[in-house]
Amino acid sequence: MATFAVSGLNSISSISSFNNNFRSKNSDILLSRRRILLFNFRRRSFYVSNVASDQKQKTKDSSSDEGFTLDVFQPDSTSVLSSIKYHAEFTPSFSPEKFELPKAYYATAESVRDMLIISWNATYEFYEKMNVKQAYYLSMEFLQGRALLNAIGNLGLTGPYADALTKLGYSLEDVARQEPDAALGNGGLGRLASCFLDSMATLNYPAWGYGLRYQYGLFKQLITKDGQEEVAENWLEMGNPWEIVRNDISYPVKFYGKVIEGADGRKEWVGGEDITAVAYDVPIPGYKTKTTINLRLWSTKLAAEAFDLHAFNNGDHAKAYEAQKKAEKICYVLYPGDESLEGKTLRLKQQYTLCSASLQDIIARFERRSGNAVNWDKFPEKVAVQMNDTHPTLCIPELLRILMDVKGLSWKQAWEITQRTVAYTNHTVLPEALEKWSFTLLGELLPRHVEIIAMIDEELLHTILAEYGTEDLDLLQEKLNQMRILDNVEIPTSFLELLIKAEENAADVQKAADEEQEEEGNDDSKYEETEAVKAETTNKEEETEVEKVEVEDSQAKIKRIFGPHPNRPQVVHMANLCVVSGHAVNGVAEIHSEIVKDEVFNEFYKLWPEKFQNKTNGVTPRRWLSFCNPELSEIITKWTGSDDWLVNTEKLAELRKFADNEELQSEWRKAKGNNKMKIVSLIKEKTGYVVSPDAMFDVQIKRIHEYKRQLLNIFGIVYRYKKMKEMSPEERKEKFVPRVCIFGGKAFATYVQAKRIVKFITDVGATVNHDPEIGDLLKVVFVPDYNVSVAEVLIPGSELSQHISTAGMEASGTSNMKFSMNGCLLIGTLDGANVEIREEVGEDNFFLFGAQAHEIAGLRKERAEGKFVPDPRFEEVKAFIRTGVFGPYNYEELMGSLEGNEGYGRADYFLVGKDFPEYIECQDKVDEAYRDQKKWTKMSILNTAGSFKFSSDRTIHQYARDIWRIEPVELP
């Protein structure tokens, strides 16, 4: 319950008098609201500058009648209070009798949104008038987290909002906790996209994000006695105050149907299943800048006239709703299960909806900005499309379809425009994560797009042929197997004819050589002229028959070598399509980008080395240090002399010179201790477990996957627990530092092995946490329903963070950057961004173990040959688990995955057993270091100081310069 100290309201029981009093002051409040909304916003003139040929975009101050300036009034707590009260009364999402926390949150969020709308609209209008080149970031995920604290932090209004809410009887933190996390992402991919949007706005880059507005998101994770259970996420249940539906911005999206060719040769896609994509916009404010960019999310629906009213009135309600439900379910769930044909079809519909609606929107904006003279060759000079992973790949054939079938461009012109426009970010080296779609399914769902993809594939085939020639058909066939977009699909006729002709020419050359050799051998032979004449006719007939057989043999040989195999599936390689069609391909960490070039796309790299780049990921220091860890941020500001580090993270390096300062170390430990207390409260709230704040907080929070090796972590904990049980209480205290081992993350609903790992972790926790002999010396906690808000509590208070994936399998990681930025020490392998983090923070401030990426293939080969000898300690752990000490659940399948030398789901593919001995020895070094708190604190400070490279601002600057070719555009 809240206690108000304004408008004569002293308690919640006086809510009626509050409302009456509030209404009586209506005119004053409306005037105040008008003042807030206007913010002294003055329209002046736009000044339209020329865009230089090098794509530089600069705005100029001008007092002419064609420019404008945006002067923003900075509200105080009084005006903020009036705005919140206004929304509580006039933008009601709740009943008028109460003003409880949920209503306080919505009224507060709506008041912040009002402020953003001014700069949001001005940013959009300025970009339109300036006709700047703009980047469009397409992603299936945007893991935004809560928006309130981030928005008011970026606006610099945390103080006024905190004061205003205090006057209304609430704390800002309590109000902010009412906001559900937007369920628009799963893990690092979506969180990276959100960090990028923050940096784009902060750095004033003209850019937008495009995604889907999932009604239920991924899922809400429950932890029960059976392990992970999934229920629908309800983030939209009470509405979303941050979004604005744009009912005037909608586009048709089509599935199925057929392709017809007109008399002019132009193709048209007709019939099929039609839906509508409607735009929902979310403002993304930059930090201390006038720029507010846009995240446009698409929701799907069906036109009212498609509702079968006749069927409904006849009682066939299911039939009446069928088409409507088909349209709506496209945006129900992020990553629906794809074990079934229906699931695969739904995923493809999602991907195409994102691509089609976004491309139509981008093209409409380009045409509007171009006026009456649309020059399509200028399209890449105004538009940059970035595909975040392979999910948006269909924007390639969709852009080609629109340019050719709708706008009337030739294939050559459309292909050149597309290649100059799109770029691809690769996020994985895992073969199963490089998307492959059924050629048949894609052809049924998107018949025109399969035709266009076949045209791209044909272009690629001719490029490969030009590069490798026809002398060695086996080599050529090997290259096609590695590089084709359409795998195991019939070779196009144009390519086949070239191969047959080349083979025939080779046969003719060979034949001529044979004849020449034969003639030379017969020089000494003399034949009668009459006999030669008699034989001439017979020889010609025989030669004709031989030539016919040779032609047939050539065609059969080519078809045998290059034809599809009847027992192999026909698939479309989406990653290959991205590489072939885009002008840039980038990895997301130095080691990952090298693997992309040397292994994943090596053949393409040899063909087009200029396409490949590295763009090491980053995270926004605003959300992931300043806003989630304000106490440590104040310390950093104090010791570096200003808060410039929030936008110039290089200044974090200045902490290095104070790393040994005892005063700084004391402040640092205090801040970490206070953050640990927040974790203690979170764990109690989420799990019921009570943990000691004096223990080391050891955290692994990320998607549950075998390659991320949560199994290695929990096996290490089991080994630790077993050794504790074998010791006396005195020996335990002497040997082990107290630890709270914290896990968080979701296993995909159909990933059975990952769900077994979750179940095992929770079973170990249930045993260890209730063991009176162990007490506070060891606790194991699985925090359910891990999300951004949970991370914002866990990361600031963590002391050790585990990033222990099998080397060469993690593209980058971004949580490792967040932990390091918050002064948490890392234990990890040389994988992903760990490599660069270790370089920046110093080798002595990173706990390293494990096989390296270049060794992995050889180690797997040794395993297959039966040469691997497991460490006795690893076998000891498995035997201990099999005793049933952690409950009756049968973990044989889990244990079995680590045994044997070959076979799917066996042979320890992720090398848990290989790295286990080094891992537990490295954990001993962690214990040793933690005992010396002065040394540990210094290491913590140096981690923060060395994290400056890993700001998403640096990453976005590199994308803008090297791939998008855009420059900052500041509002005047």
Residues carrying an active site annotation: 427, 702-703, 708, 814, 818
Residue 775 CA to residue 209 CA, distance in Å, equals 49
The answer to whether 374 touches 389, Cβ cutoff 8 Å, is no
Secondary structure of residue 718 in the 3-state scheme: helix
DSSP per-residue codes, 78-101: HHHHHHHHHHHHHS-SS-TT---H
From the list 616, 562, 499, 566, the residue with the least C-alpha distance to 962 is: 616
Going by C-beta distance under 8 Å and a sequence separation of 6 or more, which residues neighbour residue 383? 133, 134, 136, 362, 366, 421
* Helices and strands (H, E) in the chain, number of each type: 37, 22
821, burial (CB in 10 Å: exposed 0-12, middle 13-18, buried 19+): buried
Token duo for residue 848: 């390293």
Residues paired with 285 in a beta bridge: 292
Give whole-number Cα distances, 561 to 233, 475, 476, 603, in Å.
51, 11, 10, 20
Give whole-number Cα distances, 153 to 71, 289, 375, in Å.
19, 12, 42
The answer to whether 424 touches 463, Cβ cutoff 8 Å, is no
Going by C-beta distance under 8 Å and a sequence separation of 6 or more, which residues neighbour residue 421? 379, 380, 383, 384, 385, 399, 583
The answer to whether 197 touches 293, Cβ cutoff 8 Å, is yes
The answer to whether 344 touches 337, Cβ cutoff 8 Å, is no
How many Cβ atoms are within 10 Å of 309's Cβ, its own excluded?
A: 10
Secondary structure of residue 787 in the 3-state scheme: coil
How many Cβ atoms are within 10 Å of 401's Cβ, its own excluded?
A: 23
The answer to whether 712 touches 760, Cβ cutoff 8 Å, is no
Give whole-number Cα distances, 282 to 70, 115, 851, in Å.
21, 13, 44
Cα angle 571, 572, 573 (rounded to 5 degrees) comes to 115
How many Cβ atoms are within 10 Å of 822's Cβ, its own excluded?
A: 26
Residue 964 CA to residue 382 CA, distance in Å, equals 10
Residue 530 CA to residue 755 CA, distance in Å, equals 90
Q: What are phi and psi of 254, to 5 degrees?
A: -120, 150
Half-sphere exposure of 609 (CA within 13 A, CB side): 3
Radius of gyration of the chain (CA): 32
Amino acid at 693: P
Secondary structure of residue 268 in the 3-state scheme: strand
* Cα dihedral 87/92/95/96 (nearest 10): 40
Kindly tell me the sign of the dihedral angle through the C-alpha atoms of 282, 286, 292, 293: negative
Token duo for residue 68: 């404008």
Which helix (H) or strand (E) element contains residue 210?
A: strand 207-212
Which helix (H) or strand (E) element contains residue 679?
A: helix 662-687
DSSP per-residue codes, 526-590: ---HHHHHHHHHHHHHHHHHHHHHHHHHHHHHHHHHHSPPTTS--EEEHHHHHHHH-S-EEESSH
